[in-house]
Amino acid sequence: MTKEWHGDDIDTEDIVLETENNEPPKGGDCEKKVEKLKSELEKATAENRENLDGWQRAKADYVNLLKRFDNESKTAQMKGKVKAVETLLPAFDALERAKEHGEIPEGFAAIARQLESAFAALGLAELGAEGETFDPALHEAYGQDSVDTAEKDGLVTAVLEKGWRVGGAVIRPAKVRVAAFQEIS
């Protein structure tokens, strides 16, 4: 009679081996069969470990793939936002210039407000304001203005054209003039 194995360690003393005529095996036959069972158990355990390792690698690959898909999706979404903003920016700039140089018809002002709302919904942020510190990553210098104090050195003195960014991506740097302090001796 044989004992069923359910994943627990095999206790070789509990195993009773039978021969073909239901008589217990003699002498060395038991030891050979026990050794054979131990060998089969070691092979099964090794195969189990191998299967577990393979499953864990497949799971890690799957998790990495999901992360990559998520990153690619976010990148594609950001590229779409940038492309949309780049397409609409010239029209918005034209409306902004028209507002600065005089009164524009109410219809055009409404279009400008709609574009501002759309840009806000896309997460568009304005770059460049007078008095902020010049940053070459955010500003493009188009000239210098002399200032009389060292504290004003490197500050933006005039914004020639607004810059824009979506998230961390600068779509267009602000075109600015920068303060330059020159000590007169």
pTM above 0.85, yes or no: no
Contact (CB, 8 A) for 85 and 166: yes
Residue by residue, pLDDT tens for the chain (185 residues) are 444 555 555 555 555 555 556 666 566 788 889 999 999 999 999 999 999 999 999 999 999 999 999 999 999 988 888 888 888 888 888 888 888 887 788 888 888 889 889 888 888 999 999 999 999 999 999 999 998 888 889 999 999 999 999 888 899 999 999 999 887 76
Give the Å distances, CA to CA, from 177 to 26, 75, 96. Answer: 103, 33, 19
Beta strand extents in 66-173 (DSSP E only): 124-127, 139-147, 156-161, 163-166, 169-172
